[in-house]
Amino acid sequence: MNPAFAPGCLSRVEDAGINASAPREQLWVDGWLVRFSPGKAKRARCVQAVAAGRLSLDERLARCLAIYAEVGLQPFFRITPFSLPAGLDAQLAARGMERIDDTRSWSRR
């Protein structure tokens, strides 16, 4: 995270981004927001791990992957500094998933 910004402010920005695009094709799986809109925007067709949940990572992952298989879409996971559990990107990599994009936002000071 950029130390120039307060974590609380960044968290609010993240919440606003999630709330700004809410496709009809979404549901919650134990703290993870699963979006499966067939459009081009990955934000509308990805898993966003926003809460710790109670199920094991493998159980949650299996449920999410089953949803994407059912609707015929490739699964994507959006990882941010706020993703839970911490270190989710490494845990997904250990299960054979690969990082495909790195998104950054820039602005002029």
DSSP element (H, E) containing 23: none
pLDDT confidence band for 109 (50 / 70 / 90): low
Peptide bond into 85 cis (omega under 30): yes
* Predicted local confidence at residue 41, as pLDDT: 83
47-93 tens-digit pLDDT? 999 998 999 999 999 999 999 999 999 999 999 888 999 999 999 99
Give the model's pLDDT for residue 53: 93
Q: What is the pLDDT of residues 2-38, one digit of tens each?
A: 666 676 777 677 666 666 777 889 999 999 999 999 9
Q: How many CB atoms lie within 10 A of CB 78?
A: 19
Q: Where are the domains of the chain?
A: 7-94
Q: In what order do the strands lie in the sheet with 47-49?
A: 26-29, 32-35, 47-49, 77-78
User: What is d(CA 19, CA 29) in angstroms, rounded to the nearest whole number?
Assistant: 17
